[in-house]
Amino acid sequence: MSVAKRHDEILQLVRARDRMEVEDLAIHFGVTTQTIRHDLRDLDQRGLLKRAHGVAHRLDTVTTRDYTARRVHRGAEKQEIGRLAAGLVPNACAVMLNIGTTTEQVAMALQHHEDLMVISNNINIITQLSGSPSKTLVLAGGRVRQCDGAVIGEDAVAFISRYKVDFAIIGCSSLDADGTVLDFDMQEVSVARAILRNSRQKILVADSSKFEVDAPVRICDIAEIDHFVTNAPPPDNFLRAARQGETRIITPEGML
C-alpha cells in the first residue's frame, strides 16, 4: 500500500471512530508503530487530524467547542472555581488573565475588587469588567480570533512582555495525570506562557473534566504553578507532582 493510500485510510478510520490508538492502526495496516507515528505527525502537520499521547483524534473532536456551549459546560463548577480564584487576589494589584471560559468566571468574581489593573488577551473579560469600579483595563494587541474573542499571535506575546504583574490567572484545555498542563493551539499557548513568565504569582484554573481531554501542546508543568484552583481532588499522580512542586491545590472543600 502506498503512503498516500494509507494516509487516506487512516483519516477514514479516525473520522468514523473519532479516535484511534497508534497500536491499533499499526496492527490494522501491518506496519510498525514508528511508521504510524510518522504518518500521524505528517497528517497533524497538514491539519487533517490531531495526535496526542499515542492517539489520533478526529479534528473536529479536539478543536474548541462552540464558545457558547463551552460556557455552559460545567458552568456551576467554573463559577465556583472563579470565586475561589478571585479570593486569592487582593485589592490594589495587577492581574493578567488568558482566554477561556473559566478565566471569564474569575473576571466576573473580580468585579467588586478595587484599584485593579487587569490585562487580558480575552476581549470578553475586558467587556465583562467594563464599567466596574476602580479598575484599569488593558486589552492585549494582536490578531483577534472572532470565534471566541481571543487576541493571539506574536504581537500579543510582545505586548504582554511589556508588563510585570502580581498575578497570572490562566486556564487550559487539558491536564495530564503526570502534572503537565496542555492546550491545543500553539499561538494560544505562546500567550499563556508569556503571561506566566511576566507574573509573580501563578494561578491555574481548570475543572476536573480537563483530565479527560488529550491536547498536544505543553503550557507548563504543575510544579511551575503556585495555586491550582479546581472543583475536585485531582488524580494521585497529579497530586504528587503538585506537592513536589509546592503547588497549592484549592477546591471548594478546602486546600489539598
Q: Which domain holds residue 20?
A: 3-62
Residue burial 83-98, b: 16+ Cβ < 10 Å; e: rest = bbbbebbeeebbbbbb
Residues 14, 132: one domain?
A: no
Q: Which three cell numbers stand for residue 71?
A: 460556557
Predicted pLDDT of residue 225: 98
Residues 75, 40: one domain?
A: no
Where is the domain boundary, 20, 46, 62? 62
DSSP conformation class of 65: P
Residues 83, 103: one domain?
A: yes
Cβ contacts of 155-164, under 8 Å, gap ≥ 24: 156/121, 156/191, 156/194, 157/190, 157/191, 157/194, 160/96, 160/119, 160/121, 160/191, 160/194, 160/195, 160/198, 161/194, 161/197, 161/198, 163/94, 163/96, 163/119, 163/138, 163/198, 164/198, 164/199, 164/200
| Number of neighbouring beta carbons within 10 Å of residue 248 | 15
Instruction: Please report which confidence band the pLDDT of residue 221 belongs to, taking 50, 70 and 90 as the band edges.
Output: very high
Residues 164, 122: one domain?
A: yes
> Whole-model pTM?
0.76
Where is the domain boundary, 46, 62, 78? 62
Residues 167, 211: one domain?
A: yes
Residues 208, 86: one domain?
A: yes
pLDDT tens string 146-192: 878 999 999 999 999 999 999 999 999 999 999 999 998 899 999 99
DSSP conformation class of 247: -
Residues 195, 114: one domain?
A: yes
Residues 52, 74: one domain?
A: no
Instruction: Please report which confidence band the pLDDT of residue 44 belongs to, taking 50, 70 and 90 as the band edges.
Output: confident
Residues 44, 73: one domain?
A: no
Q: Which of 83, 90, 97 is nearest to 138 (CA)?
A: 97
pLDDT tens string 129-146: 998 989 999 999 998 888
**CATH number reported for the structural domain that contains residue 207 in this entry:** 3.40.50.1360
Residues 93, 202: one domain?
A: yes
Residues 186, 84: one domain?
A: yes
**CATH number reported for the structural domain that contains residue 25 in this entry:** 1.10.10.10
The answer on pLDDT for 64 being more than 50 is no
Q: How many CA atoms lie within 13 A of 143 on its CB side?
A: 8
Look at the chain and report how many structural domains it folds into: 2
Residues 8, 76: one domain?
A: no
Cβ contacts of 22-30, under 8 Å, gap ≥ 24: 22/54, 22/55, 22/56, 23/54, 25/56, 29/1
